[in-house]
Structure 1
Amino acid sequence: MTSVDLQYRVHYDAVCTDSNRRIVCWFSCGAASAAAAYLILKKRRKNVVVVYCDTLSDEHTDNARFLLEVQDWLGVSVLREKSEKYADRWDVYEKTRYLVGVKGAQCTVALKKVVRNKFALPGDINVFGYTSEERIRIERLLSSGSEVNACFPLDDLSIKKGETLALLQSAKIELPAMYQLRYRNNNCLGCVKGGQGYWNKIRKDFPQQFDRMARMERDLGVAINKKESDGRQVRTRTRLFLDELDPLAGRYKSEPDISCGVLCQ
């Protein structure tokens, strides 16, 4: 990581002592982001806000319960900022005619990144719930050129994801339903960044969401997943639509983690 990248990283200890700058804790209805906000508020409350890019309509219904319980635990209101242009991710897909590709996921940009940019003020310190296992993601964020002042209290304190889950349980907050269903993240029901194993799990747990996304793929003429084949000693990748996906394909546990945050694409 270069010195240019590091100038935008603010250590947890510095955040807790500098009460003049606004601290924005980005909550995502996940355990790690809740824990990060808790650690900040435990040290200081002046000029601190907790913000959620409101995508509840696309997420598991249990997230509404989780948000309220975390809000009570933190002792501050969680501000819910929502896109003024799109109602939900399906609205994004239909209007932009885009799912996911080299430009990333349009739903993430429209419903989170644009919302964050509108909320931001010069000088803000943004708090993200990346754990100590996610240092590659932290380095990627800091080197992305976004020039956002960022604090990662969980990494600064060497806190792992399992410890954030334990923290919530000690606060008598039931973990979100998606964690109990053994999903690694609490994203939308059927994320366009997911692989074959992930989508086969969605097919089993949320068949209506799977079918709706399969229809959306056909409507747009694009596919989330790709399949590889060898022909004449040349490996090629072709589209694999969800309605063609082998129910036994993929292995969710070994697939890359899904990242969908306010600075992602």
Structure 2
Amino acid sequence: MAGYLAGNVDKWIYIDVADQHPDSIRFIMDCEKALGIEIEILKSTEYCCVEDCIRVFGGFRDAHSGFAPCTNWLKKRIRKEWEAKHPDYDLTYVWGYDLNEIPRAENMIEANPQAKHEFPLIEKNLYKEDVHGLFERTFDFKRPLMYELGYPNNNCVGCIKGGMGYWNKIRKDFPEVFESRARLERLVGYSILKDKNGPVFLDELDPERGNMDTEIFPECGLMCYFAQNNY
């Protein structure tokens, strides 16, 4: 939606990660048809999946810097490699941060001075619920399946940044992923989760802990209509 609202995007890129739900590719193909523009798919040739990154790094993230190898090696590094192959481009990135994510947008500008940046959702005063409502009013195909299943983001299935409620939902919806991540925790000797008492390993996580009442329901309020009518 951010790229659609920007209206002047001349290059669409999708960075594919094996751990994302397969329905994500269906969504990309539907976007291509609706936009009439080819979406270039990039993918790491160095690492196959999240588990590869975790095994090499020896953990899920750096405790001091917050560095997550999967995010950095499977996504950020791929974008930087694409930039390096196109040194003559005058880059302007369009980001999908919403009105709740202004600090993230500011950090993105500071961390990437090599390019200009646009934030259409913030500029149009849109929250995530507005964006989902606007999507349903604009297009005739479905959102990525992870949203339909009640997840707040279309991240990797088994995202290491998820909380206890998220992981207990993954336990029910994708038990094989839950079990795989639980084995990976024991292999590297670090847990994804923690509480005030310390590490909480997935194979010890109480199935009743956490809260997943975070489903994004489409809602098209005043700002949603304004954004659509001013596209």
TM norm. shorter chain > 0.5 = yes
- Structure 2 SS opposite 1:118: helix
Could you say which residue in structure 2 is the equivalent of 1:93?
54
Question: Structure 1 residue 73: deviation in Å?
Answer: 1.2
1:75-224 to 2 correspondences below 5 Å: 75-102=36-63, 103-120=66-83, 121=86, 123-143=90-110, 145-147=111-113, 148-170=115-137, 171-224=139-192
Tell me if 1:247 matches 2:214.
no
Question: Structure 1 residue 70: deviation in Å?
Answer: 1.1
Distance in 1, matches of 2:181 and 2:35, equals 36
Distance in 2, matches of 1:248 and 1:224, equals 17
**Equivalent position to 1:53, from 12, 15, 40:** 15
What TM-score do the two structures reach when normalised by structure 2?
A: 0.83
Question: Structure 1 residue 142: deviation in Å?
Answer: 2.9
- Structure 1 SS opposite 2:11: strand
Could you say which residue in structure 2 is the equivalent of 1:64?
25
Question: Is the 1:168–1:174 Cα contact (8 Å) retained in structure 2?
Answer: no
Could you say which residue in structure 1 is the equivalent of 2:228?
none
- Structure 1 SS opposite 2:106: helix
Question: Structure 1 residue 244: deviation in Å?
Answer: 0.6
Provide Cα deviations, 1:106-160, integer angstroms capped at 9, x if missing partner. 10000011011111245311110111222132223334x3324211011112122
- Structure 1 SS opposite 2:93: strand
Question: Structure 1 residue 99: deviation in Å?
Answer: 1.5
Q: How many residues align?
A: 206
Q: Which amino acid letter does the alignment assign opposite residue 108 of structure 1?
A: T
Tell me if 1:37 matches 2:3.
yes
What TM-score do the two structures reach when normalised by structure 1?
A: 0.73
CA RMSD of aligned residues (A): 1.7
Distance in 2, matches of 1:241 and 1:92, equals 19
Q: Which sections of structure 2, spanning at least 5 residues, go unmatched?
A: 215-231
Question: Is the 1:37–1:127 Cα contact (8 Å) retained in structure 2?
Answer: yes
Distance in 1, matches of 2:147 and 2:77, equals 27
Aligned structure 1 segments of 4 or more residues deviating by more than 6 angstroms: none
Question: Structure 1 residue 80: deviation in Å?
Answer: 0.7
Moved more, 115-124 or 216-225: 115-124
Question: Structure 1 residue 72: deviation in Å?
Answer: 1.1
Share of identical aligned residues, percent? 37
- Structure 2 SS opposite 1:101: coil
Question: Is the 1:132–1:154 Cα contact (8 Å) retained in structure 2?
Answer: yes
Structure having the higher strand fraction is 1
- Structure 2 SS opposite 1:79: strand
Moved more, 170-179 or 207-216: 170-179
- Structure 2 SS opposite 1:252: coil
Q: Which amino acid letter does the alignment assign opposite residue 208 of structure 2?
A: L
